[in-house]
């Protein structure tokens, strides 16, 4: 055995050693960049280096092995320039947002970063707010959304908000109300296309069967989830169930020539409804493709 290994190394004396050398050197260089502050952060707090070298690699096993995510219609994402990605929200904690970001970066040839719009709550929490900002998220408000879109970013939004993530398992895959349609006005004013996205699989990760309101109020969270495993199994209950995920990027809905209608509630609500209906229909279609939530 020792001989065999020695021979293998002998046959190609440098390549293996060099690969490891390079890896160690690369890691040390990254560490040096981090320790000396030698990286750049954009005005929203997005830290590209940290996202590429820490956040995305940490999420990838979850994306590939645990949830076995399959994507459809990635070609609908633009190679460059802005687009507003509107998706359904579910799964008690917003794992779907993280998986969507991995899908956009890893499945698209241009390896684009998804700039998510998050709720107030996210930016109120210490720790969470920093991870959110560094991974490219910002507060869901029109000035930020329009600023990102104007600078040509891919912006992701979940208009259902907490109504979506915090809904009961019995209501799974039923789209909730779409708020005031602020995302539509942002797209209209900047003339960016809206890409409807449907995510199937997140609903089964933490099936929400109850909500302990007093605890939620005590912790200042929108709800305190009760799932078949949480809080009964303690830390083990935090492990998401390994459901099969499908993500479909729909055809872009153009908003060109409607820049003046950004404040017209009629146009805004109609477009929001159209997006909502598109996502709902494609959710039904995806569910037929995936009759068994635990399939391979």
Residues at the site binding other proteins, with contacts judged by CB under 8 A = 6, 17, 21, 24-25, 28-29, 31-32, 34-45, 47, 120, 123-130, 133-134, 138-139, 141, 143-144, 147
CA 203/CA 226 separation, integer angstroms: 14
Nearer to other proteins, 28 or 289 (CB): 28
Nearer to other proteins, 40 or 266 (CB): 40
Nearer to other proteins, 52 or 171 (CB): 52
Nearer to other proteins, 143 or 265 (CB): 143
Q: Please, what's the b/e burial string for 189-222 (b: 16 or more CB within 10 A of its CB; e: otherwise)? A: bbbbbbbbbbbbbbbbbbbbeeeeeeeeeeeeee
Provide, rounded to whole angstroms, the least separation between the CB of residue 147 and other proteins.
6
Among 237, 234, 229, 231, which residue's Cα sits nearest to residue 212?
231
What's the 3-state SS for 109-132?
A: CCCCCEEEEECHHHHHCCCHHHHH
Partners of 211 in the beta sheet?
225
Token pair, residue 120, equals 């107030």
Q: Where are the beta strands (DSSP E) in 106-215?
A: 114-118, 138-139, 154-157, 194-200, 210-211
Nearer to other proteins, 19 or 239 (CB): 19
């Amino acid at each position: 055995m020792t001989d065999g290994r020695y021979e293998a190394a002998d046959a190609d004396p440098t390549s293996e050693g060099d690969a490891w050398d390079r890896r160690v050197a690369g890691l040390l260089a990254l560490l040096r960049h981090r320790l000396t502050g030698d990286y750049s952060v954009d005005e929203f707090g997005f830290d590209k280096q940290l996202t590429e070298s820490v956040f995305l690699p940490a999420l990838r096993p979850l994306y590939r092995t645990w949830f076995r995510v399959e994507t459809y219609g990635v070609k609908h994402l633009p190679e460059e320039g802005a687009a507003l990605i509107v998706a359904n929200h579910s799964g008690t904690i917003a794992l779907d947002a993280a998986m969507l970001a991995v899908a956009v970066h890893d499945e698209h040839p241009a390896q684009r970063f998804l700039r998510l719009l998050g709720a107030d709550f996210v930016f109120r929490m210490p720790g969470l707010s920093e991870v959110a900002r560094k991974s490219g998220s910002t507060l869901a408000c029109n000035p930020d959304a329009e600023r990102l879109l104007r600078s040509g970013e891919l912006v992701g939004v979940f208009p259902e908000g907490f109504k979506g993530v915090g809904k009961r398992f019995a209501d799974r895959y039923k789209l909730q109300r779409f708020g005031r349609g602020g995302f539509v006005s942002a797209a209209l004013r900047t003339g960016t296309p809206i890409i409807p996205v449907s995510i199937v699989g997140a609903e089964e990760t933490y099936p929400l069967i109850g909500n302990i309101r007093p605890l939620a109020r005590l912790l200042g969270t929108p709800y305190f989830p009760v799932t078949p495993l949480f809080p009964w199994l303690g830390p083990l209950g935090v492990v998401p169930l390994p459901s099969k995920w499908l993500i479909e990027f729909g055809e872009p809905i153009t908003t060109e020539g409607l820049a003046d209608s950004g404040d017209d509630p009629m146009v805004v609500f109609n477009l929001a409804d159209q997006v909502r209906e598109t996502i709902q229909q494609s959710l039904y279609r995806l569910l037929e493709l995936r009759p068994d939530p635990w399939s391979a």
